[in-house]
Structure 1
Amino acid sequence: MSNNVWPPPPPKNESESEKAARLAAEKEAKKISDEIDRALEHERQELRKHRPQTKILLLGQAESGKSTMIKNFQLYFCPSSFQAETEAWRAVIHLNLARFVNYLLYVLSNTNVASGGKKGDPNKDYRMFQMRLSPLKQVELILTRCLSAESSPMASPTDDGPALRRETIPEVSVRGGMGWKAFIRGRRRGSQSRMMANPEEVNDARRILDACKEDIVALWKSPAIHALEKEGVDLHHHARYFVEHASRVADLKYSPTPDDILRARLRTVGVEEHRMVMETAAEKGEEWVLYDVGGQRSQRASWASYFEDVNAMIFLCPMSGFNQRLAEDRSVNRLYDSMELWDTVCRSRLLSKATFILLLNKADLLRAKLRAGIRFSDYVKNYDQDQPNTVEAVSAYLRKEMMEIHRVYSPRKRQLHVHITCAIDPTLMAAVLNSMRDVILVEMLHQTTLL
């Protein structure tokens, strides 16, 4: 019999006095063992309490992909909490779809396309779409009120007119920390609950979308939409994906997939703090805190207050912005603005000890633009016209430029980790997230002198 069995079997021919002594000894041993177990568990709990949180700061201009990167972190490292938020994201997706369709109808009403060249005299098909899809304005109004503060000027629906411009598809914004996901789930109580639409209204919005789905599909396939693109109206918007899948997304039984959620958009204004309890093996149970700070110019002055004591800084540069202008200042090229912002971040002494990770993001949109014949060299004068107009060549150029800025202006020598990314590609992002996780964990070990 194994010597590792506890308690050991009683010896043969054991007397009553010997048995009593043995049982007393076993009881004392068990007591000591339990005390040791409690002490070890207490020590583990204390270590967990005092273990430094992993703090990660996400920086970049507005619409650079920070919020999508947060969703990738959650999907990959905290899948159960990601799944629990599916219902909240369904409302966002439906709002993205309704807003985009309303935008298409607005643009059609202000071009010659719908009238076949006679502005102000819409043809029969256009009038039909305008009439049959008019309930989507109510859908947009309900979901906008549901997701953002009623007093917010950013929450105005598309039928406000002046908010719409042909080159701009309007977005709904939420303020960081307002807990819009809790509003959707109906779990937030208190005075702020008046900002949430009635749950039955949200269900009404779903029923309206379901009733309109066939007309949405027909509108998207109509010659008028193709004519808009020929006229130069840029329809390469994130919500295009939802219109292309309208028969599924607008269905009453629709439940968002992870891919759908990654493509959903809701702009954050201010700072959004995301606390994630990691579920993966390497760091299971640890809490990582990610700060998503607003990227608009008016909000950048407040960034510095979040620079101290962060373990890693992830900067997102949207490569596809090379032919776009800032919404805040139409005279400023988005790519140039992003590079100037990177210069400022690299110079910061408050971030001198942080791990620097640079994500050259939106490779998919960059590829689509270059394949459509838009030349990178026409907008970036330092890029030689003889160089290839390909994603590989352009991303290599940007990588070199950004690395040089980091090398020259960093207050101390440090390694820079660079990745070419498409934040809506889960397969690609899995490899990038694993690499970033490893880099951050190694740096944490260095900081705690364990490596």
Structure 2
Amino acid sequence: MGDPLRPYVPTNETPDEKRKRVNLEKQAKKRSEAIDKQLKAEREEREKQKMAKLLLLGSSESGKTTVLKQLKIIHGRGLSDERQRYRRIVHLNVLTAIKALAHALVTFGYPLKPENQQHLDRIVNLATIKNTLNRNSITVQAAIRNQQLDDNSIDLFVENMNSVVALWSDPAIKKCYNSASEIGLQDSAKYFLDNVGRFGKDDYLPTDEDILQARIRTVGVAEHKFEIADVIYKIYDVGGHRSQRHFWAPYFDDVNAIIFMAAISAFDQTLEDSDINRMDDSIQLFEEICNNPLMINTHIILFLNKIDILKQKLEYVSVKDYFSEYQGDNKFQSVTKFFQRKFLARNHNEEKHIYVHFTHATDTKQMRVIVASVNDIVQRMNLKASGLI
């Protein structure tokens, strides 16, 4: 019995019959190769639809890292593996906050309770956090990543905890806190200072909320993978500080969408290294990204973040004092619509879709709904790009 996979070749075929047979075999081979190529393309397209590449962009302190933490909680393995590492970061956040307030108190000259003067002196004379912890003066983030902080940050926190508690309870320091935007105080300062006692316990490990509130500057570019509704997402988080923005361009290629984050609560703040208004900086950066020739057809998902802080701030800060063109009332709905219009007006391409979400990135319940919405948007983009809708 012959090999069933080999084509049948007549033993008595004529030269003409052989030519016809060979031509038919070549045509069949071409058809087979074309079908294989089509099947491969369809398979690659299906795989592509199951993978999405997103860029997470925005100014520093806009909440990008917090969104990534939420993704780990909602669609990753949670934050359990990071608790011990974040214990150090929480302690650093506390010391950074009280040091900023202590310097502000000295600058403003507010009267302090006499019994707290020794605590003020102790905090004011505390060397910068970086120099105290790192003899080589590397960044705090790098030190934490490379496990070079060991227990120094914990010891430093314990040594100064009583001074932190005493100063935070003093009315003069609370008065300085009301000028948070003027002294560059981090948004989560009150959260950390209110919980100092809990952070000082020997068996303390950060909760999810502690980790979500913790702040540390992103340096360079980090890639994260998440599976959301059977879709693999590659999300690239890049540093938002102005000195880090030159890292962004190489990641613009083959991007499904950009998540651009802006802290809508920062309308009364300036950048730490200049007098530029943080909101103006975000709007200008958004315009540059939105109209970049490499991203001209890339849709953008705009997160106007920190609405919780905005609501609190509007009770005592007037938007008109910082944006003279604003003519509305100082209520949340009016203010958010105003800033939304300012961002959208910077888009020069009418074909580009910009999806806007007002976000509270530390609120896991809200972020769960928004992440589901983002997944739906990205999948519609993929289907449209492939001509299926």
TM-score (normalised: structure 2):
0.77
SS in 2 for 1:251: coil
Q: Which residue of 318, 328, 338 maps to 1:397?
A: 338
The residue number in structure 1 matching 2:31 is none
The residue number in structure 2 matching 1:28 is none
Structure 2 letter corresponding to 1:63: E
Mapped pair 1:317 → 2:262: yes
Separation in 1 of the partners of 2:219 and 2:159? 33
Q: What fraction of aligned residue pairs are identical, expressed as a percent?
A: 29
Cα distance change on mapping 1:125 and 1:326 into 2, 3 Å:
closer
Question: Does the CA-based 8 Å contact 2:301-2:354 persist in structure 1?
Answer: yes
Cα distance change on mapping 1:275 and 1:215 into 2, 3 Å:
same
**205-214 or 216-225, which moves further after superposition?**
205-214
Deviations 1:189-218 (A, max 9, x none): xxxxxxx13x3xx1x543553465454323
Separation in 1 of the partners of 2:143 and 2:177? 38
The residue number in structure 2 matching 1:237 is 187
Mapped pair 1:84 → 2:81: yes
The residue number in structure 2 matching 1:355 is 299
The residue number in structure 2 matching 1:431 is 369
Question: Does the CA-based 8 Å contact 1:275-1:290 persist in structure 2?
Answer: yes
Separation in 2 of the partners of 1:135 and 1:251? 25
Question: Does the CA-based 8 Å contact 2:86-2:211 persist in structure 1?
Answer: yes
TM-score (normalised: structure 1):
0.68
Structure 1: gaps of 5 or more residues: 1-42, 117-122, 156-171, 185-195
Separation in 2 of the partners of 1:305 and 1:76? 29
SS in 2 for 1:268: coil
The residue number in structure 2 matching 1:380 is 323
Cα distance change on mapping 1:351 and 1:219 into 2, 3 Å:
same
Deviations 1:240-298 (A, max 9, x none): 2111111112222111111111111111133x2222242x5x22xx5422112222333
The residue number in structure 1 matching 2:207 is 257
Superposed counterparts of 1:142-181, under 5 Å: 144-145=133-134, 150-152=136-138, 155=139, 172=140, 174=141, 180-181=144-145
Q: Which residue of 182, 198, 206 maps to 1:248?
A: 198
The residue number in structure 1 matching 2:116 is 125
Separation in 2 of the partners of 1:135 and 1:48? 61
Superposed counterparts of 1:417-428, under 5 Å: 417-428=355-366
Q: Which residue of 231, 239, 242 maps to 1:297?
A: 242
SS in 2 for 1:274: strand
Question: Does the CA-based 8 Å contact 1:58-1:315 persist in structure 2?
Answer: yes
Question: What's the offset of the Cα at 1:299?
Answer: 3.2
Separation in 1 of the partners of 2:291 and 2:100? 41
Question: Does the CA-based 8 Å contact 1:209-1:251 persist in structure 2?
Answer: no
Separation in 2 of the partners of 1:363 and 1:318? 8
Superposed counterparts of 1:192-341, under 5 Å: 196-197=148-149, 199=150, 202=151, 205-207=153-155, 209-210=157-158, 212-229=160-177, 234=183, 237-270=187-220, 272-278=221-227, 282-283=229-230, 286-330=231-275, 332-341=276-285
Superposed counterparts of 1:62-73, under 5 Å: 62-73=60-71
Question: Does the CA-based 8 Å contact 2:101-2:177 persist in structure 1?
Answer: no
| Structure ranking higher on relative contact order (CA contacts 8 Å, 6+ apart) | 2
How many pairs align? 345
- Name the Cα RMSD after superposition: 3.2
Question: What's the offset of the Cα at 1:223?
Answer: 2.5
SS in 1 for 2:192: helix
